[in-house]
Amino acid sequence: MRNGMGSAFLTRRRAAIGAVAALGTIPTRVVAQDTCNTVPDAPTADRPDPQAFWRSFSDPELALAFRNHGMIAELLRSDITPLGAHYLLVHFAVPPLSAEGYSIAIGGQVQNPFRISLAELQGRGTITQAVTMECAGTGRRSLQPRPVYVPWDKEAIGTYQWTGTPLRPLLEQAGLASNAVEVLFTGWDSGVDLGIEHAFERSLPVADAMRDEVMLAWAANGQPLLPEHGFPLRLVVPSWYGMASVKWLRAITVLDEPFEGVQQKQVYTYEAVKDGPSQPVRQKHVNSVMLPIGIPDLISRTCFVAPGTQILEGKAWSGFGAIVGVEVSTDGGGSWTAAQLRRSLSDTFAWVNWRAQWSAGPGAYTLVCRAWDDAGNVQPLDPQAEWNLQGNGVNVAQQTSVIVQDGIGSALSQVPCQPQLVIPGADLPPTLATRNTLVS
């Protein structure tokens, strides 16, 4: 067993989650959201009551949320995510690496261990492929009780054009021993998680490591990798969640037994109860997202649109197979309409576009989108069906609150703009109070 000592440590993070879960059975439906610790006595002048959409987040969650970032939803209009807009999760710290003199070691259960420089890697066969990457923690914030880590919603995604060299020929050059079971990838980043100091490491079964699409990448969207995204070299495993695509690659080691390091056996796992049976996180579950429509509320992100035909569109992807269908609902999942699919990127591991029309009449709506793949996987509607201690692999169907109201969109036709009240109870500044309003 490698790094097996990790199972002996009980951390504050897991202890806290276990304590909450111990208060009762895991709920089977979404429960009311917590309010923030300090709530104003009355709604703020120009926004809905904070209690309607605020929830408590711990200081560690807030720190992680500010240090890392997701992809801005409006950028779903682009098939390729602009450089720097891809989601980012740095587990420990960005190591100060240089391309000059950089090399990686390939060894372990191989016949011909060797070290190869970045320049030598770039002289080998080169491939470029668009890959949709997704953090395993996407959707974590929807869980109750919520595991304490980065409180992602649906924003931890992105699609880059990755350039590099296939991994398989390198492993073939090394010559895998007959007892080879897994291939371990070690990064230059290290730190403490679950009370254990370790380098970030993840492994792949040999069969997965030998797949043609698995690559060592040195560029994204035609530019050298950004420091926070793995410069000068990282692994890219297209069908798996992002934790498998180890950044700042230091070594590749072929193992004769399954790897049991911290990130493999304790952090990125599916585990229903503490110290219970678990499985490592691997392929991306089928998922979909919707491009926001109309104009948003600054805080709640509720969308406001005018009545009439609205175009609903977004992206869908899966690590288990091709997307074969997307459905949308405008009544919270009570009824469904099939969306049209369009693949504008030929790459197998990039998301596909979907599109549907909606004749929107005045009122409040909950829009939902869900996808399924050719392996028969479909997005669930209840996030609690996927509850696990670390909050991994949550692919619940996305819900978007929309208010359809006459007069929405007037701000773009006026200079200077004439502010309009659209939320009952809001107050305009005194100098604007006599102007026309949508809601008295």
Structural domain 287-432, CATH architecture: Sandwich (2.60)
- Whole-structure pTM value: 0.85
pLDDT of residue 153: 95
pLDDT of residue 256: 98
CATH T-level assignment (fold) for domain 4-280:
Sulfite Oxidase; Chain A, domain 2 (3.90.420)
Q: What is the DSSP track for 175-227?
A: -B-TT--EEEEEEEEEEEETTEEEEEEEEEEHHHHTSTT-EEEEEETTEEPPG
CA dist., res. 19 & res. 146, Å (int): 12
Q: What is the DSSP track for 258-300?
A: ----HIIIIISEEESSTTS-EEE--BPPPEEEE---SEE-TTT
Largest CA distance in the chain: 83
Direct distance between the N- and C-terminal alpha carbons of the chain, in angstroms, rounded to an integer: 69
Shared fold status for 4-280 and 287-432: no
By the 10 Å C-beta count (0-12 exposed, 13-18 middle, 19+ buried), 414 is classed as exposed
* Predicted confidence (pLDDT) per residue in 383-413, tens digit: 888 899 999 999 999 999 999 999 999 898 8
Q: Is residue 33's pLDDT more than 70?
A: no
Question: pLDDT > 70: what percent of the chain?
Answer: 85
pLDDT of residue 357: 98
Q: Is residue 155's pLDDT more than 60?
A: yes
Q: Is residue 94's pLDDT more than 90?
A: yes
Q: Is residue 44's pLDDT more than 50?
A: no
By the 10 Å C-beta count (0-12 exposed, 13-18 middle, 19+ buried), 426 is classed as middle
For 283, phi and psi rounded to 5 degrees? -65, 150
- Coil/strand/helix, residue 378: strand
* Predicted confidence (pLDDT) per residue in 311-339, tens digit: 999 999 999 999 999 999 999 999 999 99
CA dist., res. 385 & res. 387, Å (int): 6
Asked if 405 and 304 touch (Cβ cutoff 8 Å), the reply is yes
Asked if 235 and 244 touch (Cβ cutoff 8 Å), the reply is yes
How do the domains of the chain map onto residue ranges? 4-280, 287-432
* Predicted confidence (pLDDT) per residue in 124-138, tens digit: 999 999 999 999 999
Counting Cα atoms < 13 Å in the Cβ hemisphere of 239 gives: 15
Which runs of consecutive H residues, i.e. helices, occur in 125-184? Answer: 168-174
